[in-house]
Amino acid sequence: MGLTRRQFVKLNAALAASLATANAWSTGSLIRKTIPSSGEQVTAMGIGTNRYGVTSDEDKAVLQDTLARFAELGGSIIDTAPSYGRGLSEVVLGEIAGAAGLSRQLFWATKVDARVPGPEQLEASLRKLGVDQADLIQVHNLRETAAQLPFLREAREEGLLRYIGVTTHRPTQHQDIEQLLKTEKLDFIQVNYSLADRSAADRLLPAAQEHGAAVLVNIPFARGRLFEKVGDRPLPDWAAEFDCRSWGNFFLKYIISHPAVTSPIPGTRKVRHAVDNMRAATGRLPSPELRQRQEALIDSL
């Protein structure tokens, strides 16, 4: 998916400003992004927890080590939902974060939907996570936004949450989120975006920039298809120009380098994956020219 000259120039200028703000060109520096509605800065890497619904002590210990290492390296954003992990992810997260002393250190992002009344669902999520306030509550897959967004504004007034957003993982809902950005004041949106699925960059990511919404990115590895595409190929030599040390870095740095993106949230259940993902949130990012080379490489496979 190519860019017009006008889009390329605009992206180049925006990217330069974004990188300067994040101090991302200094090798080894931690890349941080600004939440537009507040000015708060967060590290440009998160964790998705759709598969945190484990029951054994051994599995919980692995997840606790992963969470602790992620936080030690400067990560904070944890994205979850009441339905994740067969309904257990929030419970497990609250347990392991509490045991690791991380409950107040992490940036908790969870969701509400139409399956349970909003107040009950929010109360249950806070209780499971072991916190008095969520950092971000998102309307899951745009379910009942007309009812849920007013409720979330009231809950924010009561101090139960700090930011409001909506999510999708379906390109067919991008237009709906774009319309919501025009009519509602959203602090965050969460969308699918990757080197394998760049449709969000056509209109939705620019709309998020225009309306001052932070962006979390789900499915950053295209459900594993990107790793399948590259197979056992070595990284191209030019990947070193943006401090890339693995294919995971290659895919994540592409996402982070988009000026509209606040943070990808790859599903992460192992310490080594947390370490590799956090490396993508350090050092230099690809320039617009290198982003085009990344796109061309993936499109050729």
Tell me the per-residue pLDDT of 86-138, one tens digit each, with 9 for 90 and over. Answer: 999 999 999 999 999 999 999 999 999 887 788 999 999 999 999 999 999 99
Which amino acid, residue 273? H
Pairing state between β 41-43 and 32-34: antiparallel
CATH number of the domain that residue 82 is part of? 3.20.20.100
Asked whether residue 19 carries a pLDDT value surpassing 80, the answer given is no
Domain of 249 in residue numbering reads as 5-300
Asked whether residue 289 carries a pLDDT value surpassing 50, the answer given is yes
Contacts of 1 (CB under 8 A, 6+ apart): 198, 199, 201, 202, 295
Number of domains the chain is built from: 1
Chain centroid, CA 216 distance in Å: 3
Which amino acid, residue 137? I
Asked whether residue 9 carries a pLDDT value surpassing 50, the answer given is no
Work out the percent of the chain whose per-residue pLDDT is above 70: 91
Contacts of 270 (CB under 8 A, 6+ apart): 62, 66
Express each pLDDT in 236-280 by its tens digit: 999 999 999 999 999 999 999 999 999 999 999 999 999 999 999
Q: Give me the chain's average pLDDT, please.
A: 92
Which element (helix H / strand E) includes 203? none
pTM: 0.91
